[in-house]
């Protein structure tokens, strides 16, 4: 079931949280939805799910508008909000049975769906405990289970691996990849390696607008013109070296990686190189250039460049 979004906007008072977003997510696609805090990710996801009203524009699920057929459309969506709301006094199994009934799962299938969610979300050892007795990681698993209890065609997951340990993250990542083969998935996270490992496509928004859309490889190719160097310079203080490097006009961004070892990460302006200028600076100052290594453009660098403005 496809999701089609056109000119979607939302204001809170004078502030525009979402500003004219248009994109499509197709069945069998996992979309990584990225952006800094306050970029409008959660607001967009809430409008897609009908959790908050649409300001302007349209959200169409399959062939039905969320604005016109909200109750009908919600039956096809599983939603895990950023702040996972749970009934802490309920036992895990009771809560999942309750959620299944709310989502319209018929009585003869409720037990079957609860058993399946307990298994796929790794809740068997905790299933009889009250949710309030669970760790944060297991509560997150319960939230995932409730989002999938009715076997929806669309999954909207806002920070689904928050609070999980590394082993749990790998398990949930594999689960999402498996689900994504037949469902439409929008996944929001701040863990960028998770996006690369899980998602077919990446959409980055900043200040409510789309600033990038494509596969991780496509985004890297678009940024290939920006050289990134790891540099170590000896025989001066880190602050002195940093001050002099900032005077090189080809350098767009300079980060001090290790002040004690005088290590820096240098990013050049698009289409330029800074290696020769750095070398000549060291010759002029009598410094030793002990390392200058080119780095592959990382998703983190692309994200920062697009969202720091």
Q: Report DSSP letters for 126-140, one per residue.
A: GTTSBGGGS-HHHHH
Are 3-220 and 223-307 in the same CATH fold? no
- C-alpha 260/C-alpha 5 separation (Å) is 50
Listed in sequence order, the residues at least 6 apart from 23 whose beta carbon sits closer than 8 Å to its beta carbon are 5, 203, 210, 213
**Out of 3.30.70.20, 3.40.50.300, 3.30.360.10, 3.30.2130.10, which CATH number does the structure's domain 3-220 have?**
3.40.50.300
What pLDDT score was predicted for residue 221?
Answer: 67
Using CA atoms, how far residue 222 sits from 168, 226, 271, 309, in Å, is 33, 9, 11, 18
CB contact at 8 A, 257 and 211: no
Listed in sequence order, the residues at least 6 apart from 179 whose beta carbon sits closer than 8 Å to its beta carbon are 148, 155, 185
**Out of 3.40.50.2000, 3.20.20.70, 3.30.70.100, 3.40.50.720, which CATH number does the structure's domain 223-307 have?**
3.30.70.100
User: What's the whole-model pTM score?
Assistant: 0.74
What pLDDT score was predicted for residue 181?
Answer: 85
Q: What is the pLDDT along the chain (309 residues), one digit of tens a residue?
A: 899 999 999 999 888 899 999 999 999 899 999 988 888 999 999 999 988 999 999 999 988 999 888 889 999 999 999 888 899 999 999 999 999 999 999 888 999 999 999 998 889 999 999 999 998 888 988 999 999 999 999 999 998 887 777 887 888 888 888 888 888 999 998 778 778 888 999 999 999 999 989 888 777 766 666 788 999 999 999 999 999 999 999 999 899 999 999 999 998 888 788 999 999 999 999 999 999 998 766 777 777 777 876
CB burial string 282-295: b at 16+ within 10 A, e below: beeeebebeebeee
Phi, psi of 28 (to 5 degrees): 80, 10
What pLDDT score was predicted for residue 225?
Answer: 62
CB contact at 8 A, 292 and 221: no
Reduce the DSSP state of residue 163 to 3 states and report it. Answer: coil
DSSP bridge partners of 77 = 154
Give the residue extent of every domain in the chain: 3-220, 223-307
What pLDDT score was predicted for residue 18?
Answer: 93
- C-alpha 17/C-alpha 65 separation (Å) is 21
The dihedral built from the CA positions of residue 101, 147, 69 and 105, taken in this order, carries a sign that is: negative
- C-alpha 190/C-alpha 129 separation (Å) is 30
């Amino acid at each position: 079931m496809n999701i089609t979004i056109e000119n979607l906007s939302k204001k809170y008072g004078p502030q525009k949280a979402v500003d004219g977003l248009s994109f499509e997510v197709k069945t069998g696609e996992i979309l990584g939805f990225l952006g800094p805090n306050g970029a409008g990710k959660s607001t967009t996801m809430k409008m897609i799910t009908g959790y908050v009203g649409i300001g302007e524009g349209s959200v169409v699920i399959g062939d039905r508008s969320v604005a016109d057929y909200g109750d009908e459309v919600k039956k096809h969506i599983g939603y895990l909000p950023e702040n996972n709301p749970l009934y802490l006094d309920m036992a895990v199994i009771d809560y999942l049975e309750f959620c299944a009934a709310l989502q319209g799962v018929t009585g003869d299938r409720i037990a079957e769906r609860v058993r399946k969610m307990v298994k796929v979300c790794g809740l068997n050892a905790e299933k009889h405990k009250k949710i309030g007795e669970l760790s944060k990681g297991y509560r997150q698993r319960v939230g995932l289970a409730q989002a999938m209890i009715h076997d929806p065609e669309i999954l909207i997951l806002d920070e689904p691996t928050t609070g999980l340990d590394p082993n749990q993250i790998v398990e949930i990542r594999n689960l999402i990849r498996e689900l994504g083969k037949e469902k439409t998935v929008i996944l929001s996270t701040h863990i960028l390696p998770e996006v690369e490992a899980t998602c077919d496509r990446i959409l980055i928004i900043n200040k409510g607008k789309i600033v990038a859309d494509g596969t991780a490889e496509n985004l890297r190719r678009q940024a290939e013109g920006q050289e990134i160097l790891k540099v170590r310079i000896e025989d001066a203080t880190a602050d002195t070296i940093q001050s002099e490097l900032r005077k090189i006009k080809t350098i767009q961004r300079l980060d001090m990686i290790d002040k004690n070892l005088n290590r820096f990460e240098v990013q050049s302006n698009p289409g330029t190189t800074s290696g020769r200028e750095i070398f000549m600076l060291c010759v002029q100052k009598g410094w030793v250039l002990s390392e200058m290594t080119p780095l592959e453009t990382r998703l983190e660098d692309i994200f920062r460049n697009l969202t720091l403005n």
